[in-house]
Structure 1
Amino acid sequence: MDTKIMGGLLWLFVSLNLGAALAIPYFNTTADFMKCSYGERGSLTATCVNANTTYFKSTPYRFDQLDETLVCSACNLKTLESGSFDISGNQIKNLQLSLSKIELLKQKAFVGLIFLRNLNMSHNFISSVYPGTFTGVKKIESIDLSYNNISVLSDDGFLELINLKDLNLAYNNIKTISSKAFNGLGNLVTLNLERNNITEISYTLSKLNHLQVLNLRNNQIEKLQGSEFTNLFSLLLLDLSLNKLNNPIIELYPNNTLKSLFMENNSIHNLSLEFLKGLHSLEILDLSHNAITDIQKATLLGLYHLRFLNISFNAITTFQTGVFTGLPYLELLNMSHNAISYGEITGVFSLHSLYALDLSHNKIPRLDYEALISRLPRLSYLRLEGNPLPCDLEEEMNTYFEADNFKFYLHDPYSNTKSCVLTPTKHSEKIIKETVPELDENRSAGMSGGEVAAVILLCIAYICLCLMFYVQYRTFQENRNQSPHRATSSVNLISAEDGRPGDEFLRE
């Protein structure tokens, strides 16, 4: 009996010790699972794994001048409380908190990071940025809040960030931008609002006087009244592509510096004279993938420095050189994938700078390349593939441009197949021709009714004048025959004996 009791006690003792032995590593492993460590030598980077918001101040890891960058890997921060990174003696300049399951930012969440320059909080679940969030971190220059759940940009959310230059709010769910949402961001250079649900801009951007890059790509903007960007004097690039713009008006003050404007993939039908105002510095304009059917004359007037114009993937039916002659620096013109079936050389001036023209994938049946070259003296690259052109045109153009460094494509350069029309169509006149002024056409076709009446009146007047002269002449002859002296003189002139008419008259 004592032996059994002793055996049971021994078994219980061993079991308890074994359990303790197994449990100790588990608790130690859990404690060690949240830790911060220095990266490779010279990287100036510290990495904290699986940390929560209370761990940064409690960790024994000493942040010093070697830890310029703090990376949070697989962290579970959820709510950033006030002073979450108030770490004594730290000199952190770059804070990487992406993929950290952040949902809420409380006031003064980053206080204590007095050296912070760059903050990345992308790929989290942040729904809003409230006033006071960035109190105490005025030196921040870049914030990345992309790929979150922000739906409203509240007033004064970034008020303290007077040195902020780059703000990325792309890939959120922003629908509303309050009128004072960007207060305090007077030095902002780049603003990325791509892929949101913004429907209007109004005057929310008017105080961003140093903004150079504005990305509004892939939103729900339908209207632009023309005054949304007038105060953006420093703007260099404006991206409005992939919106729902129909008949937009973009107006900037004459001293603006806008170089690039992207408006592809909208619903623009016509380019009115009000379309672009004051964009004298514009160099790149992309209007591809719209529904443009016509470009009114003088629409592009004033774009003196435009170099690249893309109007591909629209519904334009006519190509006229005169529409572009107000663009003295135009180098590249892309009008591919339209419905061009007719063209004419209009205007007086040539496009002296144009060296690349893309008319591929249209409905051009024939091309007067000689007339085209006459207005495009620098043209050296021409694309015509995807048009119903005659098969003999290639040989003809090869012969014509044999001595020139001129490249043209009548077929897809990346395909071995050739597509052309074997026999000319019944409308085989050359597609691009030089037009005759309207007045000359009227004259060659025939005189108007007014001109015919004038000619008839002129003829009647001439006949009357002739009759008057004839009557006068007859009267003069009759008077002459009735005068005796004149009769004698006349006989003497004709019957002189010495054969010298007039001697008798002289002797008298």
Structure 2
Amino acid sequence: MAKWLPPMVLIILVPTTNLENDDGSCRRHLSVLNWPQITCTNVDNSFFQHFVASPNRTHWIKCTNCSLNVIDERTFNFLKNNVSYVELQASRIRTLKRLAFNKLFLLKYLNLRKNDIDYLEPKCFTGIKRLLHLDLSFNFLKILTNNIFSDMSNLDILNLNYNQLFYIQPYAFAGLVNLKYLYINHNDLKKLEDKMFRYLPNLKILYLEHNSIVEIHQNAFFNLKNLNFLYLNNNSINFLVQYNFKPLTSLIDLQLRLNNLTEIQVSSFNGLSNLRTLHLSNNNISIVKPYGFVGLDSLKVLDLVRNKFVLIDFSYFDKMENLEVLWLNNNSISTFEISYKSEVQNSLVILDLSFNNLSMFNYKLLYSKMPNIKEVVLEKNSMNCDFFTNMYNFLQDKNVTLCVSSHCNFNETVVYIDDICSEVYVTSTDHVYNSTDFSTDCSTNFFGSTVFMFIALSLALFC
């Protein structure tokens, strides 16, 4: 008879981390998206290595006030999981090692902002091919090395704001073929290198504000044929070469506010055939070279506020057949030249010349060059009463509102006219009163003298 032996059971004791630790370090709840979430507080980088809180049923892991220091391939060693959102904000992370997140193969959102990361080890993002959003803002990155994002073909948003980036290697963005939004604000870039964005053919929005950019290579924007919005505000750009933006055939909005531009070169914006708004305010521009704005066939808004213009020639804006709004306020314009040869701007609706030094200009000729104008703003210039009131009456007859503020209120204009003409009216009125008194006195004296002479003549005849 066979002898039956009881089955042997091997029990291996492995240190584990429970969902609810004695110190209450983790808790399960619903995320803002109503998904299962585990939030852990005050844990270190070894904590998740022995994590048994059923991550396969969890979509979201969040770490608050943690001390993770180094993330490597053992940190999130989950064999099976459905984790798609990981938030490690302000977790004192210094280094991302090779394959740091490769076990999180369903990951779509990774937040690493406000850490101490100054270097990304090669292949640290390998294995997370489904990632859509990567936030590395508020770290200490100085260089982006080649192929660092090469395994992220589905990435949609990359946030690199508030780092210390001064150099981006030529192949740093390789692999990001579906990236739509790229944020590199508040870094230390000084030059946009040749073809540095070549691997971003589907990019829609590019933010490069608050850097130290001085120079833009002629081919810096090569292959950005789908870019719609480019923001270069708050840099030190002092020169634009011809055809600088030519590859950006889909660009709608270009912003170059608060730079050091002094003049608009020939064909600086040529090729931007779909551009709708161009913002050049707060530069030092005083000159527009011939054909400086050529190629802006679809432009609707041109912002030249707070520059150094003393003279404006209306011919600067030739060939802008769709221009609707022209902002020239807060310059030092004392001369507004309008030639009979200048092209007619049929589309222009708003012209703002406020806060300049204009005393007069040929407003009748100007109106003939912009026959569909609706508002002309002339607040704070040097125009006298007669000129301003004549212009006001002329434009009013043409159904054009002459404004003295950005609000363009009719009553404000009337009050303004009263103010600038008050002294003239007072002087004129005093003069009329004095003339009237004098004529009255004269007629009275003449009448008295006539009576006296008539009496004297009568006495002489009768005597």
What TM-score does the superposition give when structure 1 sets the normalisation length? 0.72
Offset of residue 403 of structure 1: 5.9
In structure 2, the partner of 1:91 is 82
Q: Tell me the CA shift for residue 398 of structure 1.
A: 4.9
Contact 1:360 1:386 in 2 (8 A): yes
1:266 is matched with 259
Task: Work out the CA distance in 2 between the residues paired with 1:244 and 1:421.
Answer: 44
SS at match of 1:251: coil
Q: 1:328 aligns with which of 321, 341, 346?
A: 321
The answer to whether structure 1 residue 172 and structure 2 residue 188 are counterparts is no
Distance 1:421 1:220 in 2: 49
Give the Cα–Cα distance (whole angstroms) in 1 for the partners of residues 272 and 407 of structure 2.
Answer: 36
Deviates more, 1:54-63 or 1:161-170: 54-63
Q: Deviations over 1:49-80 (max 9, x none)?
A: 22322222434422244x32222222221211
Q: Give the equivalent residue in structure 2 for 1:153.
A: 144
Question: Counterpart of 1:31 in 2: which secondary structure?
Answer: coil
Three-state SS of the structure 2 residue aligned to 1:276 is: coil
Give the conservation status (yes or no) of the 8 Å contact 1:36–1:59.
no
Specify the code of the residue in structure 1 equivalent to 2:370. Answer: L
C-alpha displacement at 1:412, in angstroms? Answer: 7.0
Q: 1:300 aligned to 2:299?
A: no
Q: Which letter does structure 2 place at the counterpart of 1:278? A: G
Identity %: 27
Q: Deviations over 1:163-203 (max 9, x none)?
A: 11211111100111112211221222221111111112213
The answer for the alignment partner of 2:428 in structure 1 is none
The offset of 1:144, in angstroms, is 0.7
1:60–1:414 Cα change, 3 Å = farther
Deviation at 1:252, TM superposition (A): 4.4
Partners of 2:116 and 2:138 lie apart in 1 by: 8
Aligned to 1:382: 376
User: Counterpart of 1:100 in structure 2: which amino acid?
Assistant: S
Give me the whole-angstrom Cα distance separating, in 2, the residues matched to 1:223 and 1:144: 27
Gaps of 5+ in 1: 1-28, 425-508
Is 1:312–1:336's contact at 8 Å kept on the other side of the alignment? yes
> In the alignment, does 2:203 pair up with 1:211?
yes
More divergent stretch after superposition (398-407 vs 210-219) = 398-407
Taking the TM superposition and a 5 Å limit, the aligned residue runs for 1:60-99 are 60-65=52-57, 67-99=58-90
Deviations 1:426-447 (A, max 9, x none): xxxxxxxxxxxxxxxxxxxxxx
Q: Give the residue type in structure 2 aligned to 1:51.
A: V
Secondary structure of the residue aligned to 2:254 is strand
Quick one: structure 1 residues 370 and 277, their matched pair in 2 at CA, closer, same or farther if it must change by over 3 Å?
Answer: closer
Give the aligned length: 395
- Deviations 1:348-386, CA, capped at 9 Å, x for gaps: 421111111111111011244332221111211221111
| Root mean square deviation of aligned Cα | 2.6
CA contact (8 A) 2:224 2:248 kept: no
In structure 2, the residue matched to 1:142 is 133
Does residue 1:227 correspond to 2:226, yes or no? no
Farther off after superposition, 192-201 or 393-402: 393-402
> Aligned partners of 1:345, 1:63: CA distance in 2, in Å?
72
Of 168-177 and 42-51, the range deviating more from structure 2: 42-51
Look up the SS of the partner of 1:48 in the other structure.
Answer: strand
Contact 2:245/2:271 (8 A) holds in 1: yes
Matched AA of 2:252 = K
Moved more, 53-62 or 186-195: 53-62
CA–CA distance in 1 between the matches of 2:281 and 2:320?
Answer: 19
Aligned equivalent of 2:309, options 297, 309, 316: 316
Between structure 1 and structure 2, the one with the greater Rg is 1
Instruction: Give the distance between the partners of 1:286 and 1:265, measured in 2 at CA.
Output: 10
- Which whole-Å CA distance do the structure 2 matches of 1:358 and 1:218 have between them? 28
Amino acid at match of 2:304: I
Whether the 8 Å contact between 1:257 and 1:281 is mirrored in structure 2 is yes
Residue type at the aligned position of 2:184: L
Deviates more, 1:406-415 or 1:300-309: 406-415
Q: Tell me, which stretches of 5 or more residues in structure 2 are unaligned?
A: 1-19, 425-463
Q: Which amino acid aligns with 1:78?
A: N
Of 309-318 and 345-354, the range deviating more from structure 2:
345-354
**For each residue in 1:316-371, what CA deviation from the matched residue of structure 2 results, as whole angstroms up to 9, or x when unmatched?**
11222221121000111111111111112223421111111111111011244332
TM-score, normalisation: structure 2: 0.79
Match of 1:356 in 2: 350
1:453-468 maps to which residues of 2 (within 5 A)?
none
How far apart are the structure 2 equivalents of 1:406 and 1:161?
55
User: Does residue 111 of structure 2 align to residue 111 of structure 1?
Assistant: no
- Alpha-carbon contact 1:390-1:423 (below 8 Å) kept: no
Counterpart of 2:403? 409
1:372 paired with 2:366, answer yes
Give the whole-Å Cα distance in 1 for the aligned partners of 2:211 and 2:178. Answer: 25
CA distance in 2, matches of 1:333, 1:42: 44
Residue 279 of structure 2: which of 265, 275, 286 is its match?
Answer: 286
Q: Distance in 1 between matches of 2:190 and 2:41?
A: 40
